[in-house]
Chains A and B, each alone.
Chain A
Amino acid sequence: MLVKVQINGEKHEADVEPRLLLVHLIRDVFRLTGTHIGCDTTHCGACTVLLDGRPVKSCTVFGIQAHNREIMTVEGLEQDGKLHPLQEGFMEEHGLQCGYCTPGMLMTSYAFLRKHPRSTEDEIRQAISGNLCRCTGYVNIVKAIQYAAAKLQNGGA
């Protein structure tokens, strides 16, 4: 089946099996490998991307369900060579170690901050509870998101 999508503002199309998962479409067909796979059960969140602005676990969506829709992946966060405040925050606050969960964390928190620009630490922890990180102990991930929230409120990006 032909699937046409817009990923990070760029048009992509491919002829794929109806059962092809969105995560494989993004990674293996369109070769955007920033989105990762960590489980098969929608638990780890490593594969999180935005579909029409809403975060989805792309291992649980078929590629063809994204037909004619807009996808945003981690590769789309940086704009005109400028890092998104979240990306900056993760670096500044040491919010990543192996970096494998990071793209999913970034996409989940990107969607979260857009809806909830002001939130408490506990709300942030809730928001990322669908994303597992095995390395960082979460403390610095939360700080990274708070860093971005503060920066966004001060008009950054």
Chain B
Amino acid sequence: MALRTSPAIGGMGHSVKRKEDPRFIRGKGTYVDDVQLPGMLYLDIVRTPFAHAKITKIDSSKALGVPGVLTVITGQDLAKYNLHWMPTLMSDTQMVLPVEKVMYQAQEVAAVLATSRYAAADGVDAVHVEYEPLPVVIDPRKALEPGAPVLRTDKKDKKDNHIWHWEWGDRAATDRAFREAEVTVKQDIYIPRIHVASIETCGCVAQFDKVNGKLTVWMTTQAPHAIRTVFALVAGHVGLAEHKIRIISPDIGGGFGGKVPVYPGYVIAVAASVLTGKPVKWIEDRMENLQADSFARDYHITAELAARKDGKLTALRIKTIADHGYTDAAANPSKFPAGLFHICTGSYDLQAAHVEVDGVYTNKPPGGIAYRCSFRVTEAVHTIERVADLMAHQLGMDAAEFRLKNFIKPDQFPYKSALGWEYDSGDYAAALRKAMDKIGYAELRREQAERRRRGELMGIGISSFTEIVGAGPSKHFDILGLKMFDSCEIRIHPTGKAIARFGTKSQGQGHETTYAQILAEELGIPVADIQVEEGDTDTAPYGLGTYASRSTPVAGAAAALAARKIRDKARKLAAHLLEAAEEDLVWEPGKFSVKGAPNQFKTIQEIAFAAYTNHPQGMEAGLEAVSYYDPPNLTYPFGSYICVVDIDKGTGEVKIRRFVAVDDCGNIINPMIVEGQIHGGLTMGFAPALMEEISYDELGNIQGGSFIDYLLPTAVETPKWETDKTCTPSPHHPLGAKGVGESATVGAPAAIANAVVDALWHLGVRHVDIPITPAKVWKLLREHGVAE
């Protein structure tokens, strides 16, 4: 895309330095835990060591004697206000504090309110709880067996642990294609439970002002407006009305989907502030964060692919068991029980597909967030890219050649997939070819053959993914009935400076800069003269927030459209000032000039001044606009990643020698920020592929509930990413942009897993579940007769 603005203006395509950085590098950001209010109390939470147990007694007497402790809140206390349970986003129910039994290890049991952090922690230690352990169900497949203990005894009619069955696609056509197929492959794939583990944990400061009846909550949330509405809907009966609730989402230290849900801690803190009339702070620690906050993934998948002998794919069939923990609290658009998992046909042109998912209750934390992906797209991509590779190997075809043969072709867009999605635009072959050139694919294959002869283990893995972002068009997407538009409101001040507010909320994505660049592009006002604000429900227009890479696709479009409304009025003002007809004016970023007389012009700043000082009779003063953008479709960024691994036969360690990522997210607003998003996403794709997993023993004890054993990659093991791009604009987005924040997380794990299997294929290895730890590989090598 050609640059239309000067660096001084800094519109689309400029690598403008981030406007948010000056405060962060000085330690002057304001994160939730930085908020300290006079008279503030601290909340800390008592958690259960059992994964499933009856609570027979909660004795707070000793805790109440601890200096500084004011009160202990239990489920019984909240039950008086009917606040001990809350609804989940998926129309299920979730405990705030239990009155009867606990359902997973580290579940909240009671809360201690005290005058300091340390006193609250002392109080937690002094609360005595008695439990009667109950049978624990950890494996969702066992949870479905007849005779498995029924977990949700609070639901009178519930006789099993099955939550829902959901299916999509043409079963008959798919079955027929499989009967007629010349080649089929089938694979069980487990995508384990993982955790976003943003470096800032979750927390809030709740302040209820009794005199004005106003509740202000500073909280770590990616969706402040939706939270405000949910609070009003849930707590309306205790007198909290929406206009009296203000949610402030200040600087957020990473979210990645984990800061979408409402956690019990928030609700208890709000209740505590309403009850005491004092500000209450609750900040979870890392162990609470890993053990009790929403998880991601946890899909047990069986996938089958059918093809002709010549390599042409025909059909895909998938069955999945989704472990939802003890309640269905997945953060999805309401109409998609399995998220967007049915984008699982990926980048390939398939005649038929059918997918089934069953949600299951187990004794694990609730939630189900997307860990930097749009609602189960990572699971979908991992599945299709794994079985595509299996098929290529099975057919004896090169993995790249196989993909090139089966890609949806550029002239097929807009493309309607076998599962009903309408892909907007793409050129998948171009991205793959670019990645192959950059990494030197043919040469690497020669090297691999050579090394294999010498007994060395080297693998090359490809993942050619299609993402689906920009949730979402209101005809399909809502959260609890709230349509998923997003918004921008712009006010131009008399001197030509602007303030713009959005319904989204950055957690590090750099919105203050990118949004300002969109406005600079559309209005010609320099980025430096535009103040961008988000995350305060008292000032920002209503929007559904930032997750699923929806900020640029949805709110970015709103920004462009609001700016265009301003430009329309500016044209009228310019015509008045220049005494010309509107149609005789030409716009270029920053000014209107008279056609054929370029010296006769008015700058946007002059026009802004006139909007307040010299507007024509009959026109309203001011220069403001707001846009609520409802996208006509989702956007479909894509990419091709190639990973080269060497496997140490002695230790089983997988070393990533090179990783080339070619991404296409349409027109780019800030290349520097886009590249940064890709680096971060790749790292969050690499981590679950090789390290991250939250697992449980039979009793439901979490294995990996702190950073001691929940491994995150440091700078040492993280590969040196090599990135590149192609550009296929979205035809329906006002800026031709697509969104990129999550592409790399979605695409990376399959490339790594495919590289590992490629390295071991000749030994007879067909699949390895992620995370591909050294221990797992070491064991495989021994099983397949490789010893060193």
Contacts and interface: CB of A to CB of B under 8 A. Distances in A.
B243 interface: no
A99 B26 contact: no
Given A133-B199, A134-B254, A137-B721, A102 B24 contact: yes
Contact of B27 (A32, A91, A125, A134): A32
A99 B508 contact: yes
Interface residues of A, number: 58
Contacts of B34: 27, 33
A34 B23 CA distance: 10
Given A39-B706, A94-B672, A134 B25 contact: no
B182 interface: no
A99 B24 CA distance: 5
Given A40-B285, A83-B25, A134-B197, A91 B507 contact: no
Contacts of A91: 17-18, 21-22, 25
A78 B623 CA distance: 39
A106 B286 CA distance: 22
A100 B254 CA distance: 8
Nearest to B24: A99
B107 to A, nearest CB: 19
Nearest to B681: A137
A40 B706 contact: yes
A81 B31 CA distance: 23
A98 to B, nearest CB: 3
A58 to B, nearest CB: 13
A137 B683 contact: yes
B200 to A, nearest CB: 5
A46 interface: yes
Contacts of B256: 134
A10 interface: no
B755 interface: no
A140 interface: yes
B118 A138 contact: no
Contacts of B253: 36, 38, 98-101
A99 B680 CA distance: 13
Interface string A4-24: 000000000000010110001
A1 interface: no
Interface stretch (B95-103, B330-338, B383-391, B708-716): B708-716
A56 interface: no
Contacts of A36: 31, 33, 199-200, 253
Nearest to B720: A139
A44 interface: yes
Interface residues of B, number: 59
A100 to B, nearest CB: 3
A131 B721 CA distance: 19
A38 B200 contact: yes
B680 A96 contact: no
Given A75-B27, A138-B683, A97 B199 contact: no
- Candidate in A32, A101, A129, A134 with the most chain B CB atoms within 10 angstroms: A134
A37 interface: yes
A128 interface: yes
B198 interface: yes
A132 B682 CA distance: 15
A20 B118 CA distance: 8
Contacts of B207: none
A99 B251 contact: yes
Nearest to B252: A98
Contacts of A101: 199, 253
B287 A40 contact: yes
A51 interface: no
A142 interface: yes
A102 B25 contact: yes
B676 A126 contact: no
Contacts of A38: 199-201, 253, 286
B49 to A, nearest CB: 17
B198 A140 contact: no
27 contacts: A28-B36, A33-B31, A37-B33, A38-B286, A39-B706, A40-B706, A41-B708, A77-B26, A91-B21, A91-B22, A96-B25, A97-B510, A97-B680, A98-B254, A98-B507, A99-B21, A99-B508, A100-B31, A100-B254, A103-B27, A125-B714, A131-B714, A134-B198, A134-B680, A136-B676, A139-B679, A139-B721
Closest 5 CB pairs of A and B: A34-B27, A98-B508, A100-B253, A99-B24, A137-B679
